[in-house]
Amino acid sequence: MSAKERVLKTVSDLGLPRLTVILFLIALFVLGAVRGVPVVDLISNSIGRFAMNAMLTLSMVPAIQCGIGPNFGLPVGIIAGLLGLVISMEFGLTGFTGLFTAMALGILLGVVFGVLYGHLLNRVKGQEMMVGTYVGFAIVSGMCMFWLLMPFKNPRLIWTLGGEGLRVTISLSDFFSNVLDNLLAIRVGTFRFPTGLVLFIAAVAVLYRLFEYSRLGTAMDLAGQNEQFARAAGISVEKMRVAGTALSTAMGALGIVLYAQSYGFVQLYTAPLMMAFPAVAAVLIGGATPRTASISNAIIGTLMFQTLLAITVPVTQSVIGGDISEIVRLIVSNGMVIYALTRGQGGGNNGS
């Protein structure tokens, strides 16, 4: 294979949007270095954002593998995680006790919600993405009423004067903000590496790899790859889809708990509304398709997408003096999703 052919093959394997993102990233780093933006800060910032978002992206992997496609209903899991968080905080739990209680409650609720949601998705095969999106929207806006009306008592969670219900944004600083980030954290000057959180995510990723080799894992993957074949092999496709959805939803719940502990705030009400989209975009940028995904797709995708977002702000600020990060986010993430949706034929249930 000549050098030219090799380059062409790499390009077609990566796909145009992915290649654009990579080139854009390189250009931004070079531009930043030239303009004197401290590159160490950029890297530190990128790692922080990666760790914060990685679990939410990882939750896309079981969903895609079991055949429901990218989980646009991620807010279902996020709500479970938020419930875990506020319940743990309502009891005044702090430190690792608080964090692990929130995680355990979130995962538990996530499995319950996920099983219900998975049964719904089994009835709407072929339209999982659209139904998922609007089920997510409906649950988030329905939960707005719940946050407003539920009798939470802890004064740090509710408005002290004049307001009603839980606060829109609750600070975690009195509870367990950054406990996992700061565990074994490495600090050199302005550089900061959240070792604890990264190790935790690595552990989940390794566990998931092991799960992929298990009976359930392989059966789930087969159900997503080829329904007829899976059925012939005696696998209940419906059960596998429910299992994958439940796993994805539970990981989404875990994801928002990690996100909140890293961010230092719990955001309620309409904040989770759009949270599925960056996770979907990240896994697709990492090389997944609506039919196939792996842990490495999620990790690489989150790293690329979050790095892009982290460095766009300071670099473009130094060049044109305006913030175009929101615009870059909208165009890159949604461009990637459109690209994935328009390529190839999806599941056998498409078309009328």
Partner 1 sequence: MEARRKFSVKAFIKANGVPIMFFILCGLGVLASGKPIGFLMQEAIGRMARNSFLVLSLVVPIVAGLGLNFAIVLGAMAGQAGLIAVAAAKIRGLMGLFTAILVAFPLALLLGWTAGTIMNKAKGREMIAGMILGFFMNGVYMLVFLFGAGTVLPIKDPAMILPQGYGLRNTVDLQVIKWSLDNLLKVRIGPVSLPLATFAASALLSWGIVKLFSTKLGQDMRAVGQDLRIAEVAGIKVDRTRMIAMLLSTVLGSIGQIIFLQNIGTLNVYDSHGQTATFAIAALLVGGATVTKATVGQALLGTFMFHLLFIVSPYAGQNLLGSAMVGEYFRAFIAYAVIAFSLALHSLQRSRMAVRR
Per DSSP, 185 falls in state -
329 near partner 1, rule: CB under 8 A: yes
Query: Nearest approach, Cβ of 104 to partner 1 (angstroms)?
Result: 29
326 near partner 1, rule: CB under 8 A: yes
User: Smaller CB distance to partner 1: residue 217 or 286?
Assistant: 286
User: Smaller CB distance to partner 1: residue 5 or 164?
Assistant: 164
Separation between Cα atoms, residue 68 and residue 60, nearest integer Å = 10
Binding span for partner 1 by CB under 8 A among 128-136, 187-195, 219-227, 237-245: 128-136
DSSP 3-state of 174? coil
Query: Nearest approach, Cβ of 20 to partner 1 (angstroms)?
Result: 14
Restricting to residues 55-74, name those near partner 1 by CB under 8 A: 72
Separation between Cα atoms, residue 261 and residue 243, nearest integer Å = 27
What is the sign of the dihedral through the CA atoms of 172, 43, 271 and 274? negative
Separation between Cα atoms, residue 36 and residue 57, nearest integer Å = 32
Query: Nearest approach, Cβ of 219 to partner 1 (angstroms)?
Result: 22
Please report, for residues 113, 243, 249, the alpha-carbon distance to residue 299 in angstroms, rounded to integers and kept in the order given.
Answer: 25, 22, 18
**Interhelix angle 295-320/39-58, nearest 10 degrees:** 140
Q: How many binding residues for partner 1 (CB under 8 A)?
A: 45
DSSP 3-state of 289? coil
Where would I find the beta strands (DSSP E) of 86-154? Answer: none
Q: Using CB under 8 A, which of 131, 247, 257, 275 touches partner 1?
A: 131
Q: Using CB under 8 A, which of 97, 133, 226, 317 touches partner 1?
A: 133
String of DSSP letters for 36-88: T--HHHHHHHHHHHHHHHHHHHHTHHHHHHHTS-S-TTHHHHHHHHHHHHHHH
Q: What angle do CA 132, 351, 119 make, to 5 degrees?
A: 35
User: Smaller CB distance to partner 1: residue 149 or 210?
Assistant: 149
Separation between Cα atoms, residue 177 and residue 35, nearest integer Å = 34
Q: Using CB under 8 A, which of 27, 130, 184, 210 touches partner 1?
A: 130
275 near partner 1, rule: CB under 8 A: no
4 near partner 1, rule: CB under 8 A: no
Buried b (16+ CB within 10 A) or exposed e, 319-335: eeeeeebeebbeebbeb
Dihedral angle computed from the Cα positions of residues 76, 78, 82 and 88, in that order, rounded to the nearest 10 degrees = 100
User: Smaller CB distance to partner 1: residue 48 or 69?
Assistant: 69
User: Smaller CB distance to partner 1: residue 116 or 199?
Assistant: 116
Where would I find the beta strands (DSSP E) of 173-272? Answer: 186-188, 191-193, 265-267
Query: Nearest approach, Cβ of 248 to partner 1 (angstroms)?
Result: 17
331 near partner 1, rule: CB under 8 A: yes
User: Smaller CB distance to partner 1: residue 122 or 296?
Assistant: 122
303 near partner 1, rule: CB under 8 A: no
233 near partner 1, rule: CB under 8 A: no
Query: Nearest approach, Cβ of 135 to partner 1 (angstroms)?
Result: 5
Separation between Cα atoms, residue 351 and residue 219, nearest integer Å = 27
16 near partner 1, rule: CB under 8 A: no
Q: Using CB under 8 A, which of 36, 39, 120, 166 touches partner 1?
A: 120
Q: Say how many residues make up the chain.
A: 352
129 near partner 1, rule: CB under 8 A: yes
Separation between Cα atoms, residue 72 and residue 207, nearest integer Å = 24
User: Smaller CB distance to partner 1: residue 138 or 184?
Assistant: 138
List of residues contacting partner 1 (CB under 8 A):
72, 120, 123-127, 129-131, 133-135, 137-138, 141-142, 144-145, 148-149, 164, 277, 320-322, 324, 326-331, 334-335, 337-338, 341-342, 345-346, 349-352
